[in-house]
Amino acid sequence: MAAQELKRDLENRHVQLIAIGGTIGTGLFLGSGKAIQLAGPSIIFAYLIVGIAIFFVMRALGELLLSKAGYQSFTDIAEDYLGPRAAFVTGWTYWFCWIMTAMADIIAVGVYVQYWFDIPQWIPAVICLIILLGLNLLTVKSFGELEFWFALIKVITILALIAIGVVLLVIGFKTTTGTVALSNIWAHGGVFPNGISGFLLSFQMVVFAFVGVELVGVSAAETSNPEKTIPSAINKIPLRILFFYVGAIIALLCINAWTELNPAESPFVKTFSLVGIPIAAGVINFVVLTSAASACNSGMFSTSRILYNLSRNDQAPANFAKLNKNHVPSNALFISTLVLSVGALLSKLIPETAFGIVTTISAICFIWVWGVVLICHLRYKKTKPELQAKSKFKAPFTPFVNYVVLALFAIILIIMLFADETRPALLLTPLWFILLFVLYSINRRKRERITPDPRDRLEGIRTNTEIRHD
What is the CATH number for 197?
A: 1.20.1740.10
What total of structural domains would you count in the chain? 1
Amino acid identity of 2? A
Q: What is the pLDDT of residues 253-264, one digit of tens each?
A: 998 889 888 887
- Asked whether 268 and 252 are in contact (CB, 8 A), the reply is yes
246 vs 277, more confident = 246
Report yes or no on 424 lying in a domain.
yes
402 vs 74, more confident = 402
Q: What is the pLDDT of residues 213-226, one digit of tens each?
A: 777 655 555 556 77
Report yes or no on 1 lying in a domain.
no
Q: What is the pLDDT of residues 79-114, one digit of tens each?
A: 899 998 998 998 899 889 889 988 888 888 888 898
> Where does the pLDDT of residue 75 fall: very low under 50, low under 70, confident under 90, or very high at 90 and above?
confident
Q: What is the pLDDT of residues 379-430, one digit of tens each?
A: 999 998 888 888 888 899 989 999 999 999 999 999 999 888 888 888 888 8
Q: Cβ of 170: how many Cβ atoms within 10 Å?
A: 9
Report yes or no on 443 lying in a domain.
no
What does the alpha-carbon distance between residue 444 and residue 379 come to, in Å, rounded to a whole number? 24
377: pLDDT strictly greater than 90: yes
> Where does the pLDDT of residue 467 fall: very low under 50, low under 70, confident under 90, or very high at 90 and above?
very low
pLDDT at 314: 82
Overall pTM surpassing 0.75 (yes/no): yes
Report yes or no on 407 lying in a domain.
yes
Domain containing 38 equals: 12-428
Q: What is the overall mean pLDDT for the chain? A: 82
What does the alpha-carbon distance between residue 82 and residue 78 come to, in Å, rounded to a whole number? 5
Q: What is the pLDDT of residues 157-213, one digit of tens each?
A: 888 888 888 888 888 888 877 888 899 999 889 999 999 999 999 998 899 888 877
Report yes or no on 439 lying in a domain.
no
